[in-house]
């Protein structure tokens, strides 16, 4: 056991997990913002807006995240010359954030739309009856209640995002799965303990997110 602990101490596991946390943090913020816009389009009275929102969700929900990640590097960066940072390593990090954002925005959108479905129809009708246009009704009446009803599915999407940050290994972002591979290659006698240590690390990150979202979903539930 002491030998294994010595092996763990020679690697910066906390630093690698910090990369995953940062990926999830930025992709979560940008993905939620984009998902909110997409959800607004999905419930819009304008058919073209609904079609665009639906098309985006259908496309990205059914495209593997790895394909999107590789596309950002092999096309956006290599072919089109997209640079999100002057620093080479940071540029790969932000390209990974971009891939995670556009992918999970589709899931954030559907989570929010599920919250919209919990808002009584009478709320929207009352907003229209007092003369509120669609955007004002969505901003003031529908979406505040929708977010409260969508906390649980939003939390599930965030948990999936945290775990999916390991896909950033496909574009050489130095996150924890790359470190785990290096640890296993250099310490073949500890394959299972290394795997379990990394798995426990993700459990430590994910469980509090689940507990917080469960508490908030119960605390902020809309009374019927």
Q: Look up the CATH number of the domain holding residue 122.
A: 1.10.3720.10
CA torsion sign for 217, 101, 23, 162 is positive
Nearest CA to 103 among 20, 176, 35?
A: 35
In a domain, 169, yes or no: yes
Residue 224 lies in a domain: no
Q: Is residue 91 part of a domain?
A: yes
pLDDT reported for residue 224: 53
pLDDT at residue 4 in the model: 79
**What six digits make up the tokens of 55?**
């098309």
Do residues 132 and 140 lie in contact, with contact meaning Cβ atoms separated by under 8 Å? yes
- Predicted pLDDT of residue 35: 95
Q: Distance (Å, rounded) from C-alpha 218 to C-alpha 84? A: 39
pLDDT tens across 130-184, in order? 888 888 888 888 888 888 888 999 999 999 999 999 999 988 888 899 999 988 8
Any idea which residue has 């795997």 for tokens? 195
pLDDT of residue 85: 83
Residue 121 pLDDT: 77
Task: State the pLDDT at residue 221.
Answer: 67
pLDDT of residue 201: 93
Tally of structural domains, the chain = 1
- Integer-rounded Cα Rg, in Å, for the chain is 21
Question: Which two tokens mark 173?
Answer: 């972002």
Three-state secondary structure call for residue 139: helix
Do residues 144 and 10 touch, judged by C-beta distance below 8 A? Answer: no
Which residues in the chain come in under a pLDDT of 70? 1, 221-224
For residue 55, the model assigns a pLDDT of: 96
The per-residue pLDDT for 222 is 61
Residues 6+ apart with CB under 8 A from 155: 209, 210, 212, 213, 214, 216, 217
Q: Domain range spanning residue 107? A: 2-219
DSSP code, position 81: -
Query: Is residue 38 a part of any domain in this protein?
Result: yes
Tell me if 147 is assigned to some domain. Answer: yes
Question: Taking Cα atoms as reference points, which of 165, 190, 196 lies closest to residue 178?
Answer: 165
What's residue 58's pLDDT?
95
pLDDT at 59: 95
Question: Is residue 155 domain-resident?
Answer: yes
The per-residue pLDDT for 31 is 96
Q: Take residue 22 and report the two structure tokens written for it.
A: 């940062």
Q: Which residue has the tokens 């999916």?
A: 164
């Amino acid at each position: 056991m002491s030998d294994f602990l010595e092996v763990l101490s020679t690697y910066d596991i906390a630093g690698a997990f910090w990369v995953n946390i940062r990926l999830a943090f930025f992709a979560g913020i940008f993905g939620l913002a984009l998902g909110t816009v997409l959800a607004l389009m999905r419930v819009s009275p304008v058919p073209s807006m609904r079609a665009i929102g639906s098309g985006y969700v259908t496309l990205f929900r059914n495209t593997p995240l790895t394909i999107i990640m590789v596309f950002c590097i092999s096309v956006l960066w290599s072919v089109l010359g997209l640079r999100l940072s002057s620093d080479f390593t940071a540029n790969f990090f932000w390209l990974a954030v971009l891939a995670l954002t556009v992918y999970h925005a589709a899931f954030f959108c559907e989570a929010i739309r599920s919250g919209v479905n919990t808002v009584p129809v009478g709320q929207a009708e009352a907003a229209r009856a007092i003369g509120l246009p669609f955007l004002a009704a969505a901003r003031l009446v529908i979406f505040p209640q929708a977010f409260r009803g969508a906390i649980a599915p939003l939390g599930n999407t965030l948990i999936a995002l945290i775990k999916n940050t390991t896909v950033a290994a496909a574009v050489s972002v130095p996150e924890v799965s790359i470190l785990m591979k290096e640890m296993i290659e250099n310490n073949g006698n500890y394959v299972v303990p290394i795997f379990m240590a990394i798995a426990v690390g993700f459990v430590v990150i994910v469980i509090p997110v689940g507990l917080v979202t469960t508490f908030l979903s119960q605390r902020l539930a809309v009374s019927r």
